[in-house]
Amino acid sequence: MVANSSEIKKSVNGALISGIVLTVLGIVGIALPVVSTIFAETWVALILITAGFTKLVYATQTRHEGGFIWKILLSALYIATGIMLFVYPLTGILTLTLLLGSFLLTEGTFELILAFRIRPQQNWTWALGNGIVTLILGALIWFQFPYNAPWLIGTGLGASILATGVSRVMLSINARSALNSADQSLDQGASA
């Protein structure tokens, strides 16, 4: 039991430390939204380039299975898009912002449709609220475009990382408290 308890404590401490690091990174992301937006855009570019080369290797390995030309064209599309985002980051930021706005408008519309489809169910208004908020966010992105592009993605990314960090810290503190309570109960039981 002691070995398991110490392993659990190490795990909880590791989660706490990672939560603190994520919280700090989230705050930095929100404080420097243009930098974090460029970082996010560059990260997407590198992912696309890497995926394109991976698809190219797959295409050459499976060239006898059919569709070789299409596999090559698809890998070229990935690589070219990644290079374009990497070489022209402002264009990439504008494009990603428009994609995010379009995604949120579409998701909000689908959420509203879903909400009215599940309307007889209890708590269907949560889906309705989600759809309305998502639709409003998408509309805000579109109506403020391109002025919001330099900071929007970075701020959103920072807020997401901050929320993850804070939730991880809080869960770790809760787990640590539960472990301390369990250890105290064991100590009281052993002394009795």
Q: What is the DSSP string of the chain?
A: -HHHHHHHHHHHHHHHHHHHHHHHHHHHHHHSHHHHHHHHHHHHHHHHHHHHHHHHHHHHHTGGGS-HHHHHHHHHHHHHHHHHHHH-HHHHHHHHHHHHHHHHHHHHHHHHHHHHHTTTSTTHHHHHHHHHHHHHHHHHHHHHTTTTHHHHHHHHHHHHHHHHHHHHHHHHHHHHHHHHHHHHHHHHHHH-
From the list 82, 100, 79, 91, the residue with the least C-alpha distance to 155 is 100
Q: Model-level pTM?
A: 0.66
- The token pair at 38 is 């460029």
User: What pLDDT is recorded for position 2?
Assistant: 47
From the list 72, 145, 69, 70, the residue with the least C-alpha distance to 105 is 145
| 169 in any annotated domain | yes
| 92 in any annotated domain | yes
| 1 in any annotated domain | no
| 127 in any annotated domain | yes
User: What pLDDT is recorded for position 189?
Assistant: 66
Residues (pLDDT < 70) of the chain are 1-3, 5, 183, 186-192
| 2 in any annotated domain | no
Number of domains within the chain? 1
User: What pLDDT is recorded for position 103?
Assistant: 86
User: What pLDDT is recorded for position 192?
Assistant: 60
User: What pLDDT is recorded for position 191?
Assistant: 65
| 163 in any annotated domain | yes
| 8 in any annotated domain | no
| 90 in any annotated domain | yes
- Domain of residue 80: give its range: 14-184
